[in-house]
Structure 1
């Protein structure tokens, strides 16, 4: 239950560490990314990714720096009930899926690559729910042996999936195309309709699916826009668009984050029984 305390600035609402059911809130691991500012190296996580995890999934984020390697992955994962891999401005190192780098002008974050790919394998082996957005979905694909289109915009028949950098942020994140659900899947049932509108802010996309991955949705040009691992008992979902953007105003985004949060709560309940 929430409570308040008095401070010099009046009353401050304190958030309980327990859910309305009385169980502990799920803890979710989020890996951070590299950013340089004024000659200093930062590890960062954008607020827009954390907000729906807290407000709609009902989870507590734990941020992991990726710049110190993956030696402590087991320790991180022992603390959490789910893994949430976000988007980022960087591309995955193409050598990890057997290609030369065709976009040398784009930022890479090899520390995050070296952290997240083994993180994915370990989380899946532990049965932890996993949700990936944009780069996070691409990491899931590469971790499982899939590869990528590095330049979607150069592939005949593919639409322009990149944002207009000259536009406002609101315009960049506006819905610009639809994705069609694969029929008779749990994701189609979750979305409650055959097609949904989505934003599009990526220059790369899945070419070949990784081992065990199956598509859940496609763009109008056939690009894979959502994936899962049907052979895994736990929740697994990767989406290429950005459901975190103004999630509170998007019923499809809310359903995704609630489903992930519910899966993480099931993990908490399992742990409490053991």
Structure 2
């Protein structure tokens, strides 16, 4: 684990961020995986260390993990969340699921929030965050009247094109996120087929897409940094001032939590 040194010369450890992994099958074998692109800004921009934990062994160890860490980060993934968790039938059988990740993360989120841990969820992470609060999802935005197609425009394009600016996001004014970012509108990438339909209990929208889709949400009942965003701020974070501000704010919150617990 990496360490910092304060002005007195005392060695201080970096905050440790819990990052749950997800399932991936290859050649008939199951793997627990996490994309490196999600980890890079946690290390290089948030200035934190990482504890990756498997989601395939159930949720019994969640309390043990949370006692070790100073923040929780939930990534995006290619899998869709089991719709029975929010009271709907499965309408996207062409998309794979990861029920182990679903069950682990939805149990993890309230425990982390109640413990006072900073929380940051990206794409699927926002959707899990919403479901953990009792909300639901649009299963196919592109087939929903009045909603934009939020998927990448050309899945065969280069990564730079897929993760490039796609649509505008407008922040709700006079919110803590608007204060962190310092502007009310900016462009984001968009690589998701699903999205928040009904916000869960206690959640407040912090940003919207042009079609009104919730692009960022937080629970003001919890004083610590807690945020879910629908876009992918982990992509080339250091080259995007808006994304950088969010990851730095998350890292600062984790440092504050670490300092408080000693």
Q: Does 1:187 align with 2:177?
A: yes
What's the secondary structure of 1:18's corresponding residue? strand
Match of 2:4 among 14, 18, 23: 18
Give the equivalent residue in structure 1 for 2:241: 251
Q: Does 1:160 align with 2:149?
A: yes
C-alpha displacement at 1:16, in angstroms? 3.8
Instruction: Count the aligned residue pairs.
Output: 258
Give the equivalent residue in structure 1 for 2:162: 172
**Residues 46 and 247 of structure 2 are in contact (CA less than 8 Å); yes or no, is this contact kept in structure 1?**
yes
Cα separation, 2, equivalents of 1:87 and 1:20: 34
Structure 2-normalised TM-score? 0.96
Cα separation, 1, equivalents of 2:169 and 2:2: 37
Give the equivalent residue in structure 2 for 1:88: 77
Q: Does 1:231 align with 2:221?
A: yes
Deviation digits for residues 190-234 of structure 1 (CA, Å, limit 9, x no counterpart): 111110110000000000000110000000111000000111011
Please provide the CA RMSD for this pair. 1.1
Q: Does 1:145 align with 2:168?
A: no
Deviation digits for residues 52-91 of structure 1 (CA, Å, limit 9, x no counterpart): 0000001101000001111111111110010000000001
Cα separation, 1, equivalents of 2:2 and 2:183: 35
Give the equivalent residue in structure 2 for 1:46: 35
Hey, which bits of structure 1, 4+ residues long, moved more than 6 A?
none
Cα separation, 2, equivalents of 1:244 and 1:82: 16
Cα separation, 1, equivalents of 2:88 and 2:28: 31
What's the secondary structure of 2:31's corresponding residue? strand
Deviation digits for residues 246-267 of structure 1 (CA, Å, limit 9, x no counterpart): 1111011110000000000010
Q: Does 1:72 align with 2:61?
A: yes
What's the secondary structure of 1:30's corresponding residue? strand
Cα separation, 2, equivalents of 1:241 and 1:205: 10
CA distance change for structure 1 residues 20 and 166 in 2, over 3 Å: closer, same or farther? farther
C-alpha displacement at 1:19, in angstroms? 5.6
CA distance change for structure 1 residues 103 and 62 in 2, over 3 Å: closer, same or farther? same
C-alpha displacement at 1:37, in angstroms? 1.2
**Residues 19 and 25 of structure 1 are in contact (CA less than 8 Å); yes or no, is this contact kept in structure 2?**
no
Does 227-236 or 19-28 show the bigger shift? 19-28
Cα separation, 2, equivalents of 1:41 and 1:271: 37
Query: Which stretches in structure 2 are left out of the alignment for 5+ residues?
Result: none
What's the secondary structure of 1:245's corresponding residue? coil
